[in-house]
Structure 1
Amino acid sequence: MMDANLLYWKNHGESVFSRLKIWVNLLDPSFLLTSNTEIQETYNQLRSAEKFNKKDEHSWNISLVVASFLPHRNIKPTLFWQFLLQSYTAGFNYANRNCSSEKGQTPSPKQLLLIAGTVSYATCAGALPQIIVNRLGIRSLFIQNFFRFFATIPLSAALAFFNVFTVREEECQNGIQVFDSNGNSVGLSKAAAEKAVMETALSRAVLFGTTAAVPSLLVSVLQRTRIFQKNALLVAPIRHISVAFVLGLMIPLSFSLYPQLGMIRKENVDEDLQAKVAEEQLFYHRGL
């Protein structure tokens, strides 16, 4: 049977606005003070009473992400913060995957190797703009700003997409559970897995791409004003604050872009499943 939480998403997460409202409530920082016992009790009540009151166990480490989006002058700090960011996001993506096709919860050696490779590659790629500036000895302020600020926008979005897609690649190979409208599992579908991973990867690209873009564009505009030309020290705190602010706004919005309980048409699922079901729409858990 479909999990009670998924049933709630099915009934209350039909529109972007309704999903956004749910995520704003779920990301309440006070939930971090909830004990594991309270969370389990709430979940048990949810399963028995079929009422939603779930307290989310996960929150983003904003200070880590803010530091990763700030421009650095040297390669080592850039690599350090990129490594922390990519490690955290890889762990987050793995922890919030759809594991309905897995027999155990312990990651396999293949999965560990894939995660390590993803983190290593994304760390080096994320530091690439700073590496180019330093290794080539670029002295032009315009070119430096281009690599440190504007080149990071598409790069951040691409790496966020890549992180999700590679860490959760095993879902596409094994498939994920799909359900009928009554919440009954009808089998595993690779097509649904590909759709779920793609949607999550796109939402993460929007999150990190926007978080990289808005502060850079804002600072670029403000630096042309007389106040900021006379007070250059204002740039750093404005950038810090804007990154944290945009990130805080984009987290629930990006989570809400696609339904947690996605839908896929019968003709789009795997052929072996098409003969088993009569309904035209099937459901799957997208993951986060």
Structure 2
Amino acid sequence: GRGRGRFWKPTTLPLFVQWTELLDPTNLVVSIEKIEKSRQLLLTNEDAFIHDLEDRRVQEAWKRSLSTVHPDNSKLIPVPFRPAALLPFTAPMVSQPRPQVSFYTYTTAFNIVNGNASYNRRPHESLLLGTGVIASSSFFGVGVPSLGQTHPLLCIFFSTSTAHISAMNVVAARSLEPIRGIEVMDKEGNVMGYSRRAGTKAVKDTATSRIVLFGTSAFIPEVFSHFFIRTQFFRQYPWSLWTFKLSCTVLVMGLMVPVSFSMYPQIERIQCNKLEKEIQSATEETELFYNRGV
């Protein structure tokens, strides 16, 4: 009874619109007191339709809860790792000539914090796993050649490697989910069991969304920069390249973060016949639900 069903109800809003609201930067500075009040309001209005425009308080409480509280364990998400923090933290790193260790350190922590938390894990396991993932991601990342000045077209090609390494980072950081299984629930939020197949799908879908996010966010600014360095403005002000590239990256990521997050629902459906036999025998439902993570 973690109460996940209370805070992840079906919504009439398209996922993209929903995420643009959850990614509001003000969600990074909301006080703990306001978050707790929002949670209590949702608990006392459990049966209310949370997108009822006549009840703005419930609607705002719902958004605040989704953007600051982990749906699996109901714990506050640390401010630097809330979904709204991804853009301001990673955009300056993605705009660099090649991936930085700091980029993989942050994304590893982000993936672990925002992954599924319904399976049993000890703190030291997350620490050891995170350290290994940071080391391996950084090893592959720093191996990407920095050929921007002599081979700009190759730099465009190699920039997409950030996307593939980021996807590998998700798979490695959340590798315990397919091994131990994650909770699957019926539509009322009752846990039917732990599924390794659901864990595998959750990690796979999230990794795919990362490829779209960081692949597009790294590729498009490199393409524009390739043409920008040919302009007269760049010849007069060569220092402007970094500013141009950073601005372009922020604009592209500003669009791609909600796009990638909305590729798959936060609470995904899975047909019961695709799950393990012991889970199928535990319920008569034809489909179950699980938290995909971010």
Distance 1:272 1:200 in 2: 26
Which residue of structure 1 lines up, in the alignment, with residue 10 of structure 2?
11
Q: Which runs of 5+ in 1 are unaligned?
A: 73-77, 134-139
Q: 1:186 to 1:44 in 2, by over 3 A?
A: same
Alignment of 1:144-183 (within 5 A): 145-153=152-160, 155-183=161-189
Match of 2:34 among 24, 38, 42: 38
Which residue of structure 1 lines up, in the alignment, with residue 18 of structure 2?
22
**What does the per-residue CA deviation read over 1:206-233, in whole Å, with 9 as the maximum and x for residues that have no partner?**
1111110110111123334455455544
Q: Determine whether 1:128 maps to 2:134.
A: no
Q: Quote the offset at 1:7 in angstroms.
A: 5.4
Alignment of 1:247-262 (within 5 A): 247-262=253-268
Distance 1:61 1:267 in 2: 36
Distance 1:199 1:2 in 2: 24
Distance 2:107 2:237 in 1: 35
AA in 2 matched with 1:48: T
Distance 1:282 1:178 in 2: 6
Q: Quote the offset at 1:278 in angstroms.
A: 1.6
Distance 1:260 1:64 in 2: 22
User: Could you tell me the TM-score, scaled by structure 1's length?
Assistant: 0.83
AA in 1 matched with 2:227: V
Cα contact 1:259–1:286 (8 A) shared by 2: yes
Q: Quote the offset at 1:60 in angstroms.
A: 2.2
Which residue of structure 2 lines up, in the alignment, with residue 136 of structure 1?
none
Q: Which has the higher contact order (CA 8 A, sep 6+)?
A: 1
Q: Quote the offset at 1:69 in angstroms.
A: 2.2
User: Could you tell me the TM-score, scaled by structure 2's length?
Assistant: 0.81
Q: Determine whether 1:60 maps to 2:61.
A: no
Which residue of structure 1 lines up, in the alignment, with residue 117 of structure 2?
99
Higher helix share: 1
Q: 1:61 to 1:189 in 2, by over 3 A?
A: closer
- Select between 119-128 and 222-231 the one with higher mean Cα deviation: 222-231
Distance 1:96 1:216 in 2: 29
Identity of aligned residues (%): 29
Match of 1:84 among 102, 108, 118: 102
How many pairs does the alignment contain?
265
Which residue of structure 1 lines up, in the alignment, with residue 130 of structure 2?
115
**What does the per-residue CA deviation read over 1:17-70, in whole Å, with 9 as the maximum and x for residues that have no partner?**
711111111111122221112112211211221245231231225454233223
Q: Determine whether 1:265 maps to 2:271.
A: yes
Q: Which runs of 5+ in 2 are unaligned?
A: 51-58, 69-81
Distance 2:2 2:86 in 1: 30
Q: 1:195 to 1:201 in 2, by over 3 A?
A: same
AA in 2 matched with 1:69: V
Q: 1:64 to 1:100 in 2, by over 3 A?
A: closer
